[in-house]
Amino acid sequence: MFSSKLPFTANKKMKNRALIVSVENFYPGTGLGKRKGAKKDTQRLHKILSKLGFSVVIRMDIEADEIYEAFKAESKKTVKDCFVGVISSHGEEGVVFGADGCAVKLAEVYSYFGGLSMADKSKLFLIQACRGSQLDGGVEVETDSSFSEEEDGMSELFSIPIDTAVMYATSPGYGAFMHPAGSELVQTFCNLLEEEGGPDLEITRLLTRVNYQVAYNFEARGKLFGGKKQMPCFVTRFTREVFPFMDRKIAAVEDLSLSFAATQLIDESRRSRKSSIS
């Protein structure tokens, strides 16, 4: 498999970009409660992604149309190697909700990033939202609307562009937990990026570790949800190995070292080669 550790562009001033859309507070009358902890997730993501060299834009408590507009605008901008999009809100399978309670179809958001401006760039989406009403153990909780899960789910998958991965907080049909200290998905993702060697992981390995840690280390507490689990999942359409968070200086040194070693081998081969008559 093709491995790409270095930036695709030679423009040193161009940065990777991230857009974080987080809805913590909803308009009265929407029937959607406050999501305590969403701001904690946003603050930590901003800190870590900025440290890793991303230019980060944050949009808090915006309406559905504004969510569409924000991602559409980002999709038309050029990035160095990678774009990271984060959406944190209430949701169901195939949709998340704006502060106005209106649905945002994830399929449409993903489809924006299939254009020329994002061609050959790596795209990663983190979706911190419920995808249904079930919890591990078969407990049913109240939902906010009644979209067709099967129809929206298939449309969503087909809309994911090439060289894109989407990480969901939970499996299709299930709810995702939010804690005042932050969501399990986002906090685990951030923990891994702060660990030594974490940013150097290939993206599918990084997301697999997120799956493992949330699935095996998290368990809800309390009388209502005590003992319930959460299982994230991701979909990838990458055609190569991608290292979106790797330290570019380290990667450049590694590449120069490999080039130097290859040059030595070629020179030695030339020196040791004897002339022959054919």
Whether 92 and 144 have beta carbons less than 8 Å apart is answered as yes
What distance in Å separates the CA atoms of residue 230 and residue 131, rounded to the nearest whole number?
A: 12
Radius of gyration of the chain (CA): 22
Is there a catalytic annotation at residue 233? Answer: no
C-alpha of 145 from chain center:
25
Return the structure tokens found at 162.
């090439």
Active-site residue (options: 46, 130, 179, 233): 130
What distance in Å separates the CA atoms of residue 117 and residue 8, rounded to the nearest whole number?
A: 13
Return the structure tokens found at 221.
């507490």
Q: What is the DSSP letter of 269?
A: H
Active-site residue (options: 90, 102, 190, 233): 90
- Residue in 176, 198, 5, 166 with CA at minimum distance from that of residue 85: 166
Is there a catalytic annotation at residue 179? Answer: no
Q: What is the DSSP letter of 274?
A: P
**Separation in Å, CA 20 to CA 26, 27, 60, 122, 172:** 17, 20, 8, 17, 22
Looking at the annotation, which residues are catalytic?
90, 130
